[in-house]
């Protein structure tokens, strides 16, 4: 196996690991149904930040001085890829409904692949046509069965438009983060994938502490309301899993993927988040996928596999010419 093929293979493996870690974010909140999305979100990113800060303190003796521009970039990614993205995602769910929001956000793999290729000009767009259509069909099949879930909720035109705006802001945030983060890591030799994941976690902690400070100033009582609830042990276990596995490990694996694959190929890896989310749900609820869910899994896996094969084939052909 050539160095390039080995790097691509490792990139795919890390992409699957990132998807497996991110997929926990579908399961854990449903297991913590007595807690609000805000409590789970703040707990997740607080734990991610504290874990990252601990790692940084332990290993800081072996770390060279980091320029302020890299810390600034980490703060920007902490907002666009974590706190800001999730904030607008939740607003989209509240105003437009879960199905519409999930369908829009579900197009992330395709949007990142196409926008990334538009900016980086990695290969002809026709190479991505069949893989993108296959992934899109799979995503639509995954969520089509949930179409009726929001039918009982009367959404006004104003709320729907606001919700759609929030959805597209969230989509834009993560698209920009995914592409910019990949390009930044490939160009920046001063930070490794694991160090930068830790730095993003520390800057995420900065944002969480800022939110908690604002809530304290405005007398929102977030912490007191949380501590008054039952099942706090379950909550702490849940946010530890979300903070360490679904955040730090997922970000680390995603950084590894971004450094080894083209932006378009890395973008397609995000579909594994959806697939593992489904898998965890099936296992937890002890259910068997329906025929539509099996078909969606087939279309998604086919799209990703065929897309990687076409892109790799194009790269090999170009090198041989």
- Residue 227's pLDDT is 79
- Residue 177's pLDDT is 95
The Cα 165–Cα 94 span in angstroms is 12
Q: Which of 164-168, 219-223, 291-295, 297-301 has the highest mean pLDDT?
A: 164-168
Give pLDDT tens digits for 188-231.
878 888 889 999 999 999 999 998 888 888 887 787 788 788 88
pTM: 0.85
Give pLDDT tens digits for 111-130.
898 898 888 777 787 888 88
The Cα 273–Cα 271 span in angstroms is 5
Which CB contacts under 8 angstroms, 24+ apart, belong to 248-252? Answer: 248/48, 248/51, 248/52, 248/197, 248/198, 248/201, 249/17, 249/21, 250/18, 250/21, 250/22, 251/18, 251/81, 251/197, 251/200, 251/201, 252/193, 252/194, 252/197
State mean pLDDT over 39-62: 89
């Amino acid at each position: 196996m050539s160095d390039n093929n080995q790097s691509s293979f490792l990139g795919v493996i890390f992409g699957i690991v990132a998807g497996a870690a991110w997929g926990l974010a579908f399961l854990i909140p449903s297991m913590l149904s007595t807690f609000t999305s805000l409590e789970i979100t703040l707990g997740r990113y607080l734990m991610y930040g504290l874990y990252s800060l601990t790692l940084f303190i332990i290993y800081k003796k072996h770390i060279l001085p980091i320029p302020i521009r890299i810390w600034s970039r980490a703060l920007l990614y902490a907002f666009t890829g974590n706190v800001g993205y999730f904030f607008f995602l939740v607003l989209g769910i509240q105003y437009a409904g879960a199905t519409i929001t999930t369908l829009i956000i579900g197009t992330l793999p395709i949007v990142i692949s196409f926008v990334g290729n538009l900016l980086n000009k990695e290969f002809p767009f026709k190479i991505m046509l069949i893989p993108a259509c296959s992934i899109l069909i799979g995503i639509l099949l995954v969520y089509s069965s949930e179409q009726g879930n929001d039918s009982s909720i009367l959404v006004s035109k104003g709320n729907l438009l606001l919700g759609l705006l929030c959805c597209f802001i969230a989509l834009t945030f993560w698209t920009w983060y995914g592409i910019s983060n990949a390009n930044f890591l490939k160009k920046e030799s001063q930070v490794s994938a694991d160090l930068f994941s830790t730095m993003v976690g520390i800057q995420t902690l900065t944002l969480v502490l800022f939110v908690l400070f604002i809530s304290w100033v405005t007398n929102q009582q977030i912490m007191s309301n949380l501590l008054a609830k039952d099942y706090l042990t379950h909550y702490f276990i849940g946010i530890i899993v979300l903070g360490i596995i679904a955040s730090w490990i997922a970000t680390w694996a995603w950084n590894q993927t971004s450094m080894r694959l083209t932006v378009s190929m890395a973008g397609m890896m995000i579909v594994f988040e959806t697939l593992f989310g489904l898998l965890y749900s099936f296992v937890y609820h002890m259910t068997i996928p329906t025929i539509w869910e099996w078909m969606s899994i087939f279309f998604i896996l086919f799209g990703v596999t065929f897309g990687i094969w076409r892109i790799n084939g194009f790269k090999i052909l170009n090198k041989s010419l």
